[in-house]
Structure 1
Amino acid sequence: MAFTGKYQLESHENFEAFMKAVGVPDDEVEKGKDIKSISEIHQDGKDFKVTVTAGTKVILYSFTVGEECELETFTGDRAKTVVQMDGNKLTAFVKGIESVTELDGDTISNTLSFNGIVYKRISRRIS
């Protein structure tokens, strides 16, 4: 099942606690808590290009499954990681954060864990 598509954030749990734990300033947490981000994903085999638009902020990144890449963290830092894929699940570890993204039909769930704090995002395909 291909990840390619445009997805809008439908719901999220534990946003504020997670963002504060990873070092996002309080004013940024406050601004971001109600934004319904849009993620555009293009998958070509093991190659991914992702554009995330959250309000006025746009984050672009690309990676090839199994190869080292550089991703932007929530605090704006860049960090190297290797994204792994197992069926319809992508997993990465970036600066102490474990990210598991799973595609199920038209729904993407992204679960992020840091020091025992779990943040879950659910997005639905809009095109």
Structure 2
Amino acid sequence: GLPDDQIQKGKDMKSISEIVQDGNKFKVTVTTGSKVLSNEFTIGEECEMELLTGEKAKTVVNMEGNNKLVANLKGLKSVTELNGDTITH
């Protein structure tokens, strides 16, 4: 895991997320300060994602219901819920 100070730093950071969906393909761009992360994936297929730490990790993103993107990255479960123009992590 990450040290507690890095976890808190991550919680305090403000970010802007943009998600573009084309069928089962997604492009997610997250801008946090001056850092821009862009990951592309297809639901149910293995992909490599760049993390905020700069590390790369292989994962499979699945869709739960009609609006939840779920991935396991390095032992952490990431759930992103899409509700219209609102994204909840």
Report the Cα distance in structure 1 between the residues aligned to 2:82 and 2:23, rounded to whole angstroms: 15
Report the Cα distance in structure 1 between the residues aligned to 2:51 and 2:6, rounded to whole angstroms: 17
- Equivalence for 2:88: 109
Partner SS state of residue 66, structure 1: coil
Mark the structure with the bigger radius of gyration: 1
Deviation at 1:37, TM superposition (A): 0.9
1:67 equivalent to 2:49? Answer no
The within-5 A match list for 1:30-109 is 30=9, 34-86=12-64, 87-109=66-88
TM-score by length of 2: 0.82
TM-score by length of 1: 0.60
Specify every segment of 5 or more residues in structure 2 that has no aligned partner in the other structure, as ranges: none
Specify every segment of 5 or more residues in structure 1 that has no aligned partner in the other structure, as ranges: 1-21, 111-127
Higher relative contact order (Cα pairs below 8 Å, separated by 6+ residues): 1
Change (3 A) 1:105 1:73: same
Deviation at 1:50, TM superposition (A): 1.3
Percent pairwise identity: 60
Task: Tell whether the 8 Å contact from 1:23 to 1:75 is kept in structure 2 after alignment.
Answer: no
How many residues are matched?
Answer: 88
Alpha-carbon RMSD across the aligned residues, in angstroms, is: 2.2
Change (3 A) 1:62 1:24: farther
Structure 2: which amino acid aligns with 1:88? Answer: N
Task: Tell whether the 8 Å contact from 1:92 to 1:100 is kept in structure 2 after alignment.
Answer: yes
Task: Tell whether the 8 Å contact from 2:49 to 2:58 is kept in structure 1 after alignment.
Answer: yes
